[in-house]
Structure 1
Amino acid sequence: MPTDYRSIASDPDRLERNLENSIRFHTRYADPAHFILELLQNAEDALRRRGRDWRGSRVVTFYLSDGRLRVAHFGEPFNDADVQAICSVGETTKDLTDIGSFGIGFKSVYAVTDRPEIHSGAEDFAIERFVRPVAAPPIQRDPEETVFLIPVKPCGGPSQAEITAGLKRLGSTALLFLRQIEEIHWSAGDGHSGTWLRGSNDLDAGVRRVMIIGQADGVGEVDEEWLVFSSPVADNEGRHAGHVEVAFRLVPAANSQGHRIERLTSSRLVVFFPTILETHLGFLVQGPYRTTPARDNVPDKDPWNQHLAIKTAELLVSALRWLRDREVLDVGVLRCLPLDRTKFPEGSLFAPVFEKVREALIHEPLLPRHGGGYAAAKRARLARTQELRELLSPAQLTDLLGADEEVAWLSADISQERTPDLREYLMKELRVDEVRPEAILPKLSAQFLERQPDDWVGRLYEFLGNQKALLQRAKELPLIRLSDGR
């Protein structure tokens, strides 16, 4: 049985309040195609309400033709509460919004239309003057289908070409963090079209591999894989409030059948869909951050956003441990981390990510060692040359340095030539010393040399022979082994 639309429309106090709020929110969307993302999020929410066991279609379609956009999905049909919500705006006085809320997010469609129609379950209605529901003639559709009909304004709004441009901007990120929608299809009457498909495999609790393929005009074919880590978050009252997530881009590894993690050159914060906030991280960050309705601001002083940033930092450290335990935490992963302190100043939203990662790398074995395994920064050294790294084993290095616990060389992939940014971070922020041949020479005591086997002493001769600048100083060392082993 459909909702009594007249009872909603005839409430004068509610109508006056919502008209005022509608005008206020209507002006907040800088991108006229923003409504496309909001409708996708509404579809995601509706599909989630179907439950895990539902086996119906998880496709969302956009069809633009003859001045009208048809959007359809197979999520849970509208109920009376949904009708009330979609005809209400800004019932709270807050300036920030939870993405996907019918009361605010849906109102972005009014940049495009004056009279949207909704056909879902037993409901067939249009919305006039932002908040007034009126009955609309039923349309032909699948009984399980929800359809939005959005007539494009003839003037005063975006053109059909601008809406098409908005559809073209749908990319892999539009699907990456969604959990319910598996396919997006769009087409425009002028022959433009695009298709995006998402698949995922759970690798562990809170870890999944996401595959996205697609093709769209102006984009060509896309085939992407991502490694996504996720952790649930609760609000102040302990209720589930979504997930914080980090996603690493996977690319085929050279000379291998496997994949490696590649640093992103740009990474805007994702609140289901990208915002304008650059995180300066080499991976994507997603979470239920509070934003302005137009997503043009993510307040860094908002307590909830600060809480999510801390949770994101904790998740990232857990992700590093997971990668380490599977021996895939390599230099490529480290280069994705926050390395430049100037981009994470104190008080900035993601400063906690910089600090928590730094502390973890100092105290936990998360840095790849030369020869395999991992070391904490406080027990690691950089070798200035490959020859030095090959000459001294961790046990010998520990002995020479007089350390109480084993000290290990870090991976040869970390060097001034290959990874100058990472090397600087290790030395400046993690206080990892770089050992040079001239620093080792004075430590080659008679007692140390007596403990070494003959073949190693031979390699030491060869090493010193290649260090012409050290030859004169080396003559002062007790390097000639006697018959008694001394």
Structure 2
Amino acid sequence: MGLSTATGNCCWEIEPETMLFLSKLKEIKIVTGHSEGFTVIKDDTSEPNIQLLTNKNGHDEIFEFLLFKRVFNKPEEINHEKRNNVEEREVSIAFPVGDKPNSAGKLFAYLPVRYDTGFPFIINADFILPSSREDIQDTPWNREWLMPCVGELVYSSLPILKSLPILKENEQLSVPFLHSLAKSVLLLNENNMYYPIAKSVKEAFTALELIPADDGSFVSAGNAKLASADWLRKLLRQEQLRLLYQKELKWVHGDITDKGRHELWKYFREELKVDELTPDGFARRIDLAFLSNQSDQWIIDFYTQLPNQKALWKKGSGSYWDADGPLRKKPFIRIQDGSHVRPFDDDEKPNVYLTTKTLIDAQLKTVKTEIANHDKARQFLLSDLKVPEFDIVAEVIKHVIPKYTSPSLPKTDEHERDIEKILEAFQTDSQEKRKRLKEALQETPFILSWSPTSSDETYRQSDALYFQEKLLEIYFSENSEVGFVSSSYQESALEIFANLGVSSEIRVK
């Protein structure tokens, strides 16, 4: 059938989405007198997947939607003069699939309404309209009945959508879709006609697992956590979150941050009350129980993040505005036995030292060797935090030498370990440290020896000892005050003893 130009132009304005809500209509075909044509064919054989195939002047285009609909009974107290004897009505919403953004936000009362709702879906219901069809009227029919019905339909549709292609990108829920949804509902207050939809969206995300999680799954708002820094999300996996908060939590998808997808982040924070963990909040929350449950590799990963987080461990000036970082007073340094200590005491003296190898029976606390040998972790501890390298001389003077003046003297095995420490300490490059060590050892009876008048071995000072030689043994055979160095020592130890004053010749006083 041929149409006039004016009529034809009007027909071109028919929106393909109209076909979604006219259930019995499967095809519209318009032909003008100039061999121009417009055809819309609806394929609803795979509902809720609906396809609209259009052809305009020989140009084909396909529109895809996911259509959800439900019949709602009218409450007895809701009536309208234009809807006498109506007991129920079908309400529909359609989610555009693919890259057809012009469809989202459209409003229908079977035919198009000239109003954009801003929602990322299409709404259709038997709304009461003004003659201009530029919006829906503010009547109980619309506000108190049909719009809450739309909200209910949205609530029930969202859980289905998360498993369908419309909201999936590489097995992830589409963050752009949620961002668009958040932008639309953030604009609505309780007085707005469309507020029931915003209320239902909030209830859905609060109660149902709809928020895209960082691990590819979904989580409800009550079990979701935002991370202000990407490294926190990578460092703290689900098991760490469980320890920190004593409940099962998941990170929200990493694309949702204050700087990226801001409206969605704002919606989660302000409307859904999803807490955001910051580096400072993390540092204040961790405790000894948490750290004790982490592997050495986790501790290494933690330390390698800290050079760029100086505010967490810095030494402050003592003023209110420049306090110490929250980690500085916490036992976050793992030592050789697997326990944890603060890096410094209240006087800023080191509680722990760095070493490159496992020390035998060290009394000074040292960073666990597996951690200290990791380049980046060691760089943070040594260069940034200023944990000093292990001082073997201090270890010997403070913890080895005092044992030989105590009532309970070391047994053979312990003494052998002590000698190893003394040998290592003597290799220091510091002349001042070597001098202090030598003086302390010369005043200490730590060398195992025997006497010509007794078969028992005892500890003696170096100035009372001789190396074993036949002539010396004969010379001092009846002298109980003289001792000879035990034959159990290696040559390296004997060289040190000679340096301390053990003699191979008779001393002349």
TM value normalised by structure 2:
0.57
Counterpart residue number, 2:147: 309
> Which secondary structure does the structure 2 equivalent of 1:228 belong to?
strand
Alignment of 1:31-430 (within 5 A): 63-65=1-3, 160-202=4-46, 208-217=48-57, 220-236=59-75, 241-251=88-98, 267-304=105-142, 306-324=144-162, 328=168, 329-340=173-184, 343-401=187-245, 403=246, 405-430=247-272
- Cα distance in structure 1, aligned partners of 2:332 and 2:102: 50
Deviation at 1:263, TM superposition (A): 5.9
Assess if the C-alpha contact under 8 Å between 2:95 and 2:104 holds in 1: no
Counterpart residue number, 2:393: none
Assess if the C-alpha contact under 8 Å between 1:465 and 1:471 holds in 2: no
Corresponding pairs, count: 314
Change (3 A) 1:455 1:297: closer
> Which secondary structure does the structure 2 equivalent of 1:64 belong to?
coil
Deviation at 1:264, TM superposition (A): 5.6
The code of the aligned residue for 1:310 comes to: P
> Which secondary structure does the structure 1 equivalent of 2:162 belong to?
helix
Structure 2 unmatched ranges of 5 or more? 77-84, 315-324, 340-509
What CA deviation, in whole Å up to 9, does each residue of 1:151-205 have, x standing for no partner?
Answer: xxxxxxxxx32211111112321222222222211111133321111112445xx
Asked if residue 456 in structure 1 is aligned to residue 287 in structure 2, the reply is no
> Which secondary structure does the structure 2 equivalent of 1:269 belong to?
strand
What CA deviation, in whole Å up to 9, does each residue of 1:121-162 have, x standing for no partner?
Answer: xxxxxxxxxxxxxxxxxxxxxxxxxxxxxxxxxxxxxxx322
- Cα distance in structure 1, aligned partners of 2:275 and 2:148: 29
**Larger RCO (alpha carbons 8 Å, 6+ apart):** 1
Asked if residue 434 in structure 1 is aligned to residue 276 in structure 2, the reply is yes
Root mean square deviation, CA, Å: 2.7
The code of the aligned residue for 2:72 comes to: V
Change (3 A) 1:220 1:470: farther
- Cα distance in structure 2, aligned partners of 1:414 and 1:265: 25
Structure 1 unmatched ranges of 5 or more? 1-62, 66-159, 253-261
Whichever structure has more helix as a proportion of its residues is: 2
Whichever structure has more strand as a proportion of its residues is: 1
The code of the aligned residue for 2:51 comes to: M
The code of the aligned residue for 1:162 comes to: A
> Which secondary structure does the structure 2 equivalent of 1:319 belong to?
helix
Change (3 A) 1:479 1:428: same
Counterpart residue number, 1:107: none
- Cα distance in structure 2, aligned partners of 1:381 and 1:263: 30
The code of the aligned residue for 2:90 comes to: H
> Which secondary structure does the structure 1 equivalent of 2:43 belong to?
strand
Assess if the C-alpha contact under 8 Å between 2:269 and 2:276 holds in 1: yes
What CA deviation, in whole Å up to 9, does each residue of 1:34-83 have, x standing for no partner?
Answer: xxxxxxxxxxxxxxxxxxxxxxxxxxxxx334xxxxxxxxxxxxxxxxxx
Assess if the C-alpha contact under 8 Å between 2:96 and 2:104 holds in 1: no
Deviation at 1:345, TM superposition (A): 3.0
Deviation at 1:307, TM superposition (A): 0.7
Assess if the C-alpha contact under 8 Å between 2:223 and 2:248 holds in 1: yes
Counterpart residue number, 1:43: none
- Cα distance in structure 2, aligned partners of 1:452 and 1:439: 19
- Cα distance in structure 2, aligned partners of 1:167 and 1:392: 58
